[in-house]
Amino acid sequence: MHVALGGCLKGPPVSFGITADTGGHISYVLEAAAHQAALPGVDQVTVVTRLFEAPHLGDAYARAHENVAPGLDIRRIATTSPDYLEKEALADEMPAFADAFCEYLAGLPRRPDVIHAHFADAAAIAAVVQRRYGIPFVFTPHALGIDKRGQGMTCAGLDARIEGEHAAIAGAAAIVVSTRDEAERQLGGYAVPLGRRVHVVPPGVPRRDLIPTGPTLADRLSTWLDHPERPVILAVARPVAKKNLAALVRAYAAHDGLRDAANLVILAGQHAFAGAEEAAVLAELIALAATPALKGRVALPPRHDALDVAALYARASAGGVFVNPALHEPFGLTLIEAAAAGVPVVATRHGGASDIVETIGHGLLVDPRDERAIAEAAFSIVSDPARQERLGRAGRLGARGYCWHRYAAASVALYAAAATPRFLVSDIDNTLTGCREGAAAFADWRRQSTLPFIVATGRGIEAARLILRRWHLPMPDAFITDVGTTLTLPDGAGGWREDQDYARALDRGWDRAGVAAVLATLDLAPQPAATARRHKISFFGDAGAADRIRRALAAAGLPARVVFSHGRLIDVLAPGGGKAAAIAAFAARHGWTLADAVASGDSGNDEDMLAACGHAILVGNASDELAHLAPRPGLYRARRHHAAGVVDGLAMLGLAATDAADTRGVAIAA
């Protein structure tokens, strides 16, 4: 399932440029989804976007469901506002979208195995889904705010955007980018442990093998040009400041030889739908084109479609050049479009465009702020037919390396890997303990497996180690204790040390003294003082007592998590605590996420990790406290009890031998 919220997303033909956000990422999502849906191992691909009503943009975007091709659908989710909103205005709609999206997922007969989120806003939605249903998500940023800041560009909400991108990078099971520049330099700016989660998977060439059924813009250039027979300098970009189109026009105007050698044709979106920024850029372009030096030499068609774009690429291949002068270009699909059409390019040296041009070898890189350099580079190509032909030939050959079929196969393989656990987290009491034979089978599995193993228990660490020794169970690679409020790691010298970073994180929003004061007014039976911790206060009681605690703390305005387990234990935790939170903290140290974990448990204090981890094993003796746990892909309900059920679940995931396992449990796929 792909999630992309911005722009006007519909099945082909797409009206690119109809809004500022209807650009290259729409083509990316649709091409990726279509080619993935065609793979034999894929049952269904769904693209999820936002539903809105905007008659001036067309009625397609108000339809909740659109079938694009066999196995490929678009689903549109309504939010509070029915209007079309630019990307910067979507923040207020995100909570409503998340709720409606989760409701949609809850009603599906089969939920997706993975979500591919495009841009950070979609990743924030995917993170909500992961916490609720355990579905891992893959993230493609398309354009990163931190790089815009590095290039000196500013815009409203940039800090919030960068913060959202940081969260998306930290939470994604895998990150798919198009170039090495994105993978190494741009993502590196966020200082997030990445491990092996980043994958460079270049997209394919957008389909341009279209046969015109009538005249195209290429046939009507005389509408704007005095000498339409001259070669074409072509640019295709949204009319926004960062695309730097006015600099291209000024560069062209200042170079006498370039003006005499070729015409300039700029496809700058659909002018009739221009917003404030686009209108300002278009006004500047139109004013420049109307100057005496450029009159009759520059074409700025007010509208275009896919056939026009294909025809103009073909026209530019005859002695012309394609120019991308953007201040920063995260990738640059137009550059591989030009390559496939045999058009040499002049491109910005900032961003992923440099990766493309260096890989294909079909053009020149320039500083986009150096207008003379832009003009000289373009002139050096259009004035040299032999060079033009050589670069065009290199483009056609090099574009073959950008293939949507290859992208589809590689990305689906990554999805499968994203759904494969990298470590096991297990409760102890009644999960690993309770059956000597099962405990021995688990210990045998541990001796043969290289999968990292972490204990997550309500006990303190000393009690946990004692129980493991009594049951002859293996020691873990880390301890999550005290119902997920303490994370303990190896100290490198044979001992253990508490993770103080996690402890400090739990301090945020936790008023222990205030919580204790409120709880002291209730008639509660405290657990022994030895069980109390910095971020945990514990009692004995039933479900009713747990509800009374929740109500009292809510009335006092004191945030906390109240966990009821084993039919008699109540733990009041710091609001950021819990087993899932501690697992996420452990995972982040290795560049992993919750999606990389398989969790096993039996009681209420395991619920958050069983719901949030990518895979979960519910042992056969699980208490009724977990009866309401939502079915989902990756959740396995074992028939056998205790540790034998854990081994069965591991076998179902291909992480344990099946000879000693009973894999007749229920693997939940809905």
**Residue 502 and residue 513 share a domain:** no
Secondary structure letter of residue 533 according to DSSP: B
Contact (CB, 8 A) for 191 and 165: no
pTM above 0.85, yes or no: no
In a domain, 272, yes or no: yes
Model confidence at 412, pLDDT cuts 50, 70, 90, reads very high
Domain for residue 615, yes or no?
Answer: yes
Please state the rounded mean pLDDT for residues 191-210: 82
> Are 176 and 196 in a shared domain?
yes
Contact 335, 391 (CB under 8 A): no
Lowest-confidence segment of 78-82, 146-150, 266-270, 444-448 by average pLDDT: 146-150
User: Would you call 660 exposed, middle or buried from its count of C-beta atoms within 10 A (0-12, 13-18, 19+)?
Assistant: middle
Question: What pLDDT does residue 659 have?
Answer: 61
More confident residue, 430 or 633: 430
Identify the residue whose tokens are 């072509």: 234
pLDDT confidence tier of residue 437, bands split at 50, 70 and 90: very high
Mean pLDDT, rounded, for 508-533: 95
User: Is the residue at 332 inside a domain?
Assistant: yes
Look up residue 281 and give its two tokens.
Answer: 């850029």
Same domain, 300 and 189: no
Shared-domain flag, residues 102 and 170: yes
Same structural domain, 523 and 593: no
d(CA 148, CA 166): 14
Among 96-100, 116-120, 202-206, which stretch is predicted with the lowest mean pLDDT? 202-206
Per-residue pLDDT of 223-276, as tens digits, reads 999 999 999 999 999 898 999 999 999 999 999 999 999 999 999 989 988 888
In this predicted structure, what is the pLDDT of residue 669? 39
Could you tell me if residue 402 is inside a domain? no
Average the pLDDT over 111-128 and give the result: 94
Whether residue 193 is found in the same domain as residue 308: no
The CATH number of whichever domain residue 7 belongs to comes to 3.40.50.2000
Q: By 3-state DSSP, what share of the chain in percent is helix, strand and coil, each rounded to 5? A: 45, 15, 40
| CA–CA distance, 76 with 478 (Å, rounded to integer) | 43
The parent domain of residue 534 ranges over: 509-575
Whether 215 contacts 298, CB under 8 Å: no
Is 450 inside a domain boundary? yes
Best-predicted range by mean pLDDT (126-135, 412-421, 578-587, 632-641): 578-587
Cβ proximity of 18 and 36 under 8 Å: no
**Single-letter amino acid, residue 486:** T
In a domain, residue 401? The reply is no
Domain's final residue, options 548, 575, 602: 575
Q: When comparing pLDDT for 433 and 658, which is higher?
A: 433
**Token duo for residue 637:** 């309900």
Question: pLDDT band at 328, cuts 50/70/90?
Answer: confident
Q: What is the pLDDT of residue 670?
A: 32
Rounded average pLDDT over 187-196: 87
Dist CA 593 CA 424 (whole Å): 12
Reading the block at residue 532, the tokens are: 């109390």
Q: Which of 154, 169, 200 is the last residue of a domain?
A: 200
Domain finish residue from 140, 175, 200: 200
Question: What is the distance between the alpha carbons of residues 337 and 328, in angstroms, rounded to a whole number?
Answer: 18
Average pLDDT score over the chain = 92
Q: Domain total for the chain? A: 4
What local confidence, expressed as pLDDT, does residue 257 receive? Answer: 96
Whether residue 413 is contained in a domain is answered as: no
Are residues 281 and 223 part of one domain?
yes
Q: How confident is the model at residue 213 (pLDDT cuts 50, 70, 90)?
A: low
Q: What is the mean pLDDT of residues 193-208?
A: 85
Give 364-409 pLDDT, tens digit per residue: 999 999 999 999 999 999 999 999 999 999 999 999 989 999 999 9
DSSP-assigned letters across all residues of 541-595 = --HHHHHHHHHHHHHHT---EEEEETTTEEEEE-TT-SHHHHHHHHHHTTT--GG
Least confident of 122-136, 339-353, 497-511: 122-136
Q: Which of 429, 242, 234, 208 is nearest to 317 (CA)?
A: 234
Q: Is residue 207 part of a domain?
A: no
Note whether 580 and 562 are same-domain residues: no
- What pLDDT shows up at residue 150? 65
pLDDT tens per residue across span 6-31: 999 999 888 888 888 888 899 999 99
Q: Are residues 501 and 596 in the same domain?
A: yes
Is pLDDT of 51 > 60?
Answer: yes
Separation of alpha carbons 232 and 253, rounded Å: 15
Return the CATH number at 571.
3.90.1070.10
429 with 498, same domain: the answer is yes
- 88 with 190, same domain? yes
Same domain for 387 and 436: no
